[in-house]
Amino acid sequence: MSTNESLGHTLIRADLNSPIQNKTIQDNFRIIKALEHLKKIRENSKTVTFTSHLGRPLGKDENYSLKPIAEEMSELLGEKVIFIDSIFDQHIKSNLERNPGKVFLMENIRFYQEELDNDTDFAQKVTSNFNTFILDAFGAAHRSHSSIVSFGKYINSFQGELMSNEIKNLQKLTNSPAQPYTVILGGAKISDKLQLINNLIPHVDNLLIGGGMCFTFLKIKGYNIGKSLCEDDYLSTAEVLLESKHGHKIHLPSDFGVTESIERGSRVDKNIDEFTDQDIGVDISMSTIKEFESILLKSKTVFWNGPMGIFENPNYKLGTQSITEIVSNLNAYTVVGGGDSVSAIQMFSNLSKFNHISTGGGASLKYLEGNQLPGVNIYKPLIL
Ligand code: AMP
């Protein structure tokens, strides 16, 4: 298979972390992205081995095994991916030598506490089986773990193309984005995104807020939000933001799909000033969608992270579906920041209708918060 083996045995730290239920992968977006540049790497390697985390296991836990990921990779590549059970297996080197041209996957790297502790002996031991290391796990680049910041100290190392591509695209949002620049934020918690809001708000023209996180803002504005999600610890922070000189850029929903029982799944639509004490806001509604649409249609750059409602329930999907469709058809530079927004696009539209879909939910937010991520730009880019 190899035409030039100058990289030797190559180890790639990828982010293959995917939602799995009953050993079945629910969404293979990250796996597909991790394999996108594999062909060229294989042409220059004796073998290629992937390493990745999955979830947050506490030690070795079969529920977090990467075996289902190996099966999915085998299916996508149309050939068997060889699974390496233990990173400390003494026979890894001979296994690689016996299988030239093959692709391997190692078991969950977070089964080893040394990974989380950024243990350098661990890094040296794991990488001693390989000649080249490629860091391509953008989704984990905000973690100072051994495979992110230490593996590259011991062998010839590069930054992978997926990672370089992520940075190039996210930089378009931080370096003079075309204006008007609109950010759409949703999802459950304001606490997760507060730092991002603080960092972005001076640079954006509009901040559209939906999902569960808008209710903390609406409560401090004096509305009765019933039993909607609210983080009372963040009320004063929300107030400071609304009253700041950038407060006018924040657009909050004016109407919602509401229910008295999320489990029963009923829905009525009402204005925010009509909420009863029992109401739970579960989705944005038509007037809000229209207002958000008119802002989006004028925008030249759009970043979106987080659903507008509990879109997993078909009765509460209207807002998220509508925003997905509107952003899909914009004549603007559109970037989506991982996680649930990617699932929504897969449900309601097409990934190819966006300029960039980040593989890193948390990492892309951390990057846009203005942080220097520990794993970004620490190795020279791989150019093949
Ligand atoms: P996050 O991980 O913070 O982006 O949150 C994503 C989750 O937020 C999804 O599972 C949604 O179901 C949930 N969500 C969105 N809108 C609401 C809402 N109004 N109330 C409760 N949960 C919501």
Each residue's pLDDT tens digit, 293-326: 999 999 999 999 999 999 999 999 999 999 999 9
- pLDDT surpasses 80 at 2: no
Asked if residue 17 lies in contact with residue 54, where contact means CB atoms within 8 angstroms, the answer is: yes
Same domain, 45 and 84: yes
Same domain, 246 and 98: no
Q: Look at the block and give the residue holding tokens 């394999």.
A: 35
Under 8 Å CB-to-CB from 274, ≥6 apart: which residues?
A: none
Pocket lining: 284 vs ligand 1, CB cutoff 6 Å = no
- pLDDT surpasses 50 at 168: yes
Domain residue limits at 187: 167-368
State residue 264 phi and psi, 5-degree precision.
Answer: -70, -25
Closest to 307 in 3D by CA, of 329, 328, 283, 290: 283
d(CA 182, CA 205): 6
Stated pTM of the model: 0.91
- 212 CA distance to ligand 1 centroid (A)? 6
Number of helices (H), then strands (E), in the chain: 14, 18
The predicted structure's pLDDT at residue 1? 44
Residue 384 lies in a domain: no
pLDDT tens figures, 243-298: 999 999 999 999 999 999 999 999 999 999 999 999 999 999 999 999 999 999 99
Look at the chain and report how many structural domains it folds into.
2
d(CA 93, CA 70): 19
Same domain, 152 and 180: no
Residue 382 lies in a domain: no
Cite the active site residues: 30, 189, 339, 362
Residue nearest to atom 12 of ligand 1 (CA): 310
d(CA 157, CA 289): 47
Q: Choose one of 340, 347, 364 to mutate for the ligand 1 pocket test, by most ligand atoms within 8 angstroms of C-beta.
A: 340
Asked if residue 340 lies in contact with residue 372, where contact means CB atoms within 8 angstroms, the answer is: no
pLDDT tens figures, 184-203: 999 998 888 888 899 899 99
3-state secondary structure of 265: coil
DSSP-derived secondary structure for 152-211: GGTSEEEE-HHHHHHHHHHHHHHSS--SSEEEEE-SS-STTTHHHHHHHTTT-SEEEE-T
- 48 CA distance to ligand 1 centroid (A)? 38
Residue 131 maps to which CATH number?
3.40.50.1260
Q: How many CB atoms lie within 10 A of CB 231?
A: 19
* Residue 322 in tokens: 């509508």
Say how far residue 17 (Cα) sits from the centre of its chain: 10
- 29 CA distance to ligand 1 centroid (A)? 20
Residue 2 lies in a domain: no
Same domain, 67 and 195: no
State residue 134 phi and psi, 5-degree precision.
Answer: -120, 120
Same domain, 146 and 176: no
Same domain, 143 and 256: no
Residue nearest to atom 6 of ligand 1 (CA): 187
Spell 174-198 as b/e; 16+ CB within 10 A means b.
Answer: eeebeebbbbbbbbbebebbbebbb
Q: How many CB atoms lie within 10 A of CB 117?
A: 12
- pLDDT surpasses 80 at 338: no
